[in-house]
Structures are given as C-alpha cells and as structure tokens.
Structure 1
C-alpha cells in the first residue's frame, strides 16, 4: 500500500504535468496567432504602400486631377488599408472585430456631425480640384466672390481681388453657386456701344469704328468685327462695334478702343450727346422774386 507522502507526490507531479501541457498548448496557439499577426502586418504594410503608389500613378496620368487631390487620395487609401489590417490583426487574437467596427462607425458619425461644415468644405474642395471649373491664375466671379485664383486648397480657395486685396473663400460657397470664368476660354467678345446725335451720319460713324477695328492688331480678323445700329434712344442713336480679342488682351483693348473712338468721332465731327440741364431761367425767376421781396 502506498504511503500518504507518495500519494501527495503523485498528485503534485500530475498537476505539474497538466500545467506544462496547458502551457504548451497556450504557447503553440498564441505563437501561431503572433506569427499570423506579424505576417498580416508585413503584408498589409506592403499592400498599403503599393496601393497608395498605384493610386498616385493612376491619378497622375489624368491631367484633370490636381496634384493636391492626388496626394490626398493616395494617403487616404494607404491609411484605409492599414485600418483594415489592424482589425484583421486583432481578430487573430480573438478580439470581436464586429464591436470595433461598430465603435469606429459611431465615432466617425459623431466626428462627421461635429465637423459637418469642415467636411462639406473638404468635399467641395475635392470636387473643385477634380472637375476644375477654375485653375490657379484665372479670374472668376462666383455670386459676388471675384478675383484671380491664387491657390485651391481642400478647405478654402485663396483669391486676389481686382484692387489687390487678399480674399479667402470657403470651397462650399464656390461649389454651390454658378461660376463665371473670365480666363478659361482663349477668346472674348466685346461690344463697344457709343451714342451719336440724330443729326449725325450713321454710315460715317460705322465706317470710323470699322477702320479703328481693322487698325488695332489685338482685334481678331476672325470672327470679323461688325458695326451696327443697336438702339434708337431718346436723345442718341446707339452705334455698336462688336469685335473679338484674345482673353488676356480684352481689358486693355476695350479701354484703348473707347478712347480711340472718342478721338476719331471728334475728328470727323460726330457728336456724342449727353444730358444737359440749364438753370439760367430758374435762377432769373428766383432773382426777380428776391428783388420783389426786398422792395
């Protein structure tokens, strides 16, 4: 018969054996998980870099996409892949990834509601950079917001006004309104309207304007300039010279042509009527009334 000491020693050896077996199983299980997690991290890190590089290369080939958008999307894709990789790593250790995804979704919703205006500007900035209704260096007008575009960012667009002031406009205000781009198209039309007297010769006025247009090198020959009577006003006949120029020449040409038309009309004796008010009669009546009151 075994003694009590031998019986206790046997139980101790058995418990140690069970512990060692459990430790071996635990080590093997977690070793596999750790190795799997390391492999997933390495593969995910490599995949994120490859995906970001592929997106950058794909968007770079498209000339309509701004470089700012290229960098933004490549970084976004890389971190999106890394988030998925981290969730897969946690799943290797038995973590309930469904709850993590739910928590991330709730956090994203809360952040989105808190930064609704900012996210709206970001979305508008991305659309402006992708669709390109205007580019840097172009002069635009968007519902009263006008100026030369200096920089298009993800949150706001910087402009330089006509009088040299700095203007920063939120992208959402530029995206939700019609935008008039004065610099995008290569050619622009201008209508120079001048009123002449009813007693003046209309044909002479039209001929003078056409001669000025043909002599101006900045005015395009095609489309051909055209002079015509556009209106019969109360005190003047409106004669219009319609011509086209290159967009960069439009402003200076319109001012120079206005001055040249005035000089040419004066040389040919063509009058340009303007409103006149004569006060001599009323002043005489007021003078006589004052003299009578004094007498």
Structure 2
C-alpha cells in the first residue's frame, strides 16, 4: 500500500551564496579598515586644503565629511559583496543594487542640502527672497532626479513605468484634495519672477499693513505694526493689490493744514516753507510744494507736498506736523474748529412767560 505523500506548492528559496571562510572574513575586515583609514586621510587633506584656497564653497569641512562617509560606506558595500551577501536576489533585483541605490540617494540628499544652504548663506546675512526660492527649487529638483536615478540603480527600471502610472493617478487624486497647496506653490513661483516685495519692505495688502518678515514657497509672513504675525497664503497674496512703501528710495509726504478764513494765506505758506527748509530730511530735489489747495466749509486748506527717504517717511511726517503747528501758533495764525452757521427763513419769535403768583411768593419767602 503506497503511502500518501504531500508536496509543497511553494518553490524553495535559494540559499544565500555566503562565503564565510576565515580568509574571506579577514579580507572583508581589512577592506573596511583600509577604506576607513583612507577616508580619514582624504578628509584631513580636504580640511587642510580648505584653509589655503579661496574655493571654500566646494572645498570645506562639510565636503570633507561627505567624502569620508562615502569611503566608509563604499568599504562596507565592498566587503559585503566579497562575502556574497550582496548577491542575494530580492525579486527582480539584488541586495547589492538596493544598497547602492540607497547610498546614492543618501549622498545626493547631502549634496543637495549643503548646496541649498550655501546658496542662501553666500547671499549675505539677510538673504534675498529670490535667492531662497531659487535654492529651494534647486534642492527639490535635485532630490527628485536623484530619486528616479536611485530607482534605476536599484534594478526596478522595468517596474518604473507602472510606478509612474500609479504615481500619476495618485497625483490626480491628491491634486483635487490639495489644490489649495498647489495653487499656493504656483503663486509662490510666479511671485519669485514678479518680485512685488522683498524681506524688510513695508507693505499694505488689502486692509493689512506691516513689514515683510519671510517669503516661503506656500505663504508669506508679515509683522503687523502692533507686533502680531500675519500669515498670508501666496495665492491670496498674488491676487491682491500690493502697496509697497519701500519699493523706491524716496516717498512723498502729504499733509493738509486748515487755517481760518481771516488768516493771511500767503503768509501761512511762507511760514510753512521756512519750516520745511529747517527739516534736514526733507529733500531739496524734488522740491517741496506748499500751496492753497481748496476752500472748505470752515477753513482754507493749505497742502504740503514734501519728499523724504522712504525709510524715514514716518519720522519726517511727524516732524512736519509738529513744527508747522508750532510755527503757525507762534505767528498767530488760527487753525479753526469746524463751524456751522444756521439761517432761518422767518424771524424767530421768543415768548417770555411771567411767573405765576405762587412761584413769586415762594421766591419772596
């Protein structure tokens, strides 16, 4: 009677072609040790060279550290290849291909990050927003290219088309759910080319006023005059009317002064002109203007149009108001209050009632 035998439908996993002989282990250890020593020597040479060259943007301590890590990681991968571990297959690829792809992407990330930081730092202590945006765009593009190259090195290029198709479908789904984020990003890129404002500018956006603190990919941060932080999405900012008070080096100060109808307007204009001549921050060119602008209900309006440096505009305006008021008071020129004169079509008649007898007795008592 034949015995029932069961066969497994699962194919046996191929063994790992590991070579663990004593000689091979010693050789792998020597490779790691040698690459470690060689990496340290190269790192010291790069650091020493960075103190003697002007090309510190590429030859510096950060570069030396990255090169040292590359030597160490390369030695480890070499030793694992020697031991046969890297030849173990995982699907369509091997452990060695995956390890190389991961190492490639890791060092690409370090290079991209250091390059971005250098681009920002090399522009000065106060980096311009266009430099920051350019550095970030370079960083993300570099990382994206490195990611797809790493997938190719990992040996999954045949599955790459299917992955891209799945990523495209996922991107469409995420696009509908995160269209605000995408629109903010696109608006941030457009603002980079348009350059309507810079960090440190005094701006007015709709009803909001303040100083630009930071310009990012998705939003812009403004410090209001009362010290509060305002975050404005770039999409809303791009579609708003932006008033930049610091775009040009000079800015006009507009002040209107009301004087009484009985006052001498020409004398008031001369007094105001002398006051402007005594304020050092009022520019001579363009020449300040002082003239009678209009006749209001209860006063004559004298317009003052003076130019000042944009960063000193507020100080100049306060100085003009203070000094003009003081000079007009000393000259006896009245700055009137609003007045109203009422005219009646018919003559008003006033009736005076005599007090009654009881009230007279009480007053006499």
TM-score clears 0.5: yes
1:77 Cα offset (Å): 1.5
User: 70, 75, 83: which is aligned to 2:134?
Assistant: 70
**1:274 aligned residue:** 337
User: 164, 172, 189: which is aligned to 1:109?
Assistant: 172
Does structure 2 conserve the Cα–Cα contact (< 8 Å) formed by 1:41 and 1:85? no
1:199 Cα offset (Å): 2.6
User: 260, 284, 287: which is aligned to 1:224?
Assistant: 287
Taking the aligned partners of 2:277 and 2:210, their CA distance within structure 1 comes to 32
**2:255 aligned residue:** 192
| Closer, same or farther: CA 47–162 of 1 in aligned 2, 3 Å | closer
The answer to whether the aligner puts 1:176 opposite 2:251 as a matched pair is no
Q: Which has the higher helix share?
A: 1
Q: What TM-score do the two structures reach when normalised by structure 2?
A: 0.59
Taking the aligned partners of 2:341 and 2:262, their CA distance within structure 1 comes to 22
- SS of the counterpart of 2:323? helix
Higher relative contact order (CA 8 A, sep 6+): 1
Structure 2 unaligned spans of 5+: 1-88, 343-347, 358-365
**1:84 aligned residue:** 148
- SS of the counterpart of 2:333? coil
User: 218, 234, 258: which is aligned to 1:155?
Assistant: 218
Deviates more, 1:80-89 or 1:233-242: 80-89
| Closer, same or farther: CA 263–50 of 1 in aligned 2, 3 Å | closer
| Closer, same or farther: CA 56–109 of 1 in aligned 2, 3 Å | farther
Structure 1 unaligned spans of 5+: 1-29, 280-284
Taking the aligned partners of 1:228 and 1:94, their CA distance within structure 2 comes to 78
| Closer, same or farther: CA 55–232 of 1 in aligned 2, 3 Å | same
Taking the aligned partners of 2:119 and 2:225, their CA distance within structure 1 comes to 38
**1:12 aligned residue:** none
| Closer, same or farther: CA 162–42 of 1 in aligned 2, 3 Å | closer
Does structure 1 conserve the Cα–Cα contact (< 8 Å) formed by 2:203 and 2:212? yes
Does structure 1 conserve the Cα–Cα contact (< 8 Å) formed by 2:293 and 2:301? yes
Q: What TM-score do the two structures reach when normalised by structure 1?
A: 0.71
How many pairs align? 266
| Closer, same or farther: CA 39–294 of 1 in aligned 2, 3 Å | farther
| Closer, same or farther: CA 138–294 of 1 in aligned 2, 3 Å | farther
Taking the aligned partners of 1:242 and 1:94, their CA distance within structure 2 comes to 70
Deviations 1:92-117 (A, max 9, x none): 56734332221111111212221111
- SS of the counterpart of 1:255? helix
1:132-147 correspondence to structure 2 within 5 Å: 132-147=195-210
Deviates more, 1:240-249 or 1:61-70: 61-70
**1:282 aligned residue:** none
Structure 1 vs Structure 2 CA RMSD: 4.0
| Closer, same or farther: CA 256–47 of 1 in aligned 2, 3 Å | closer
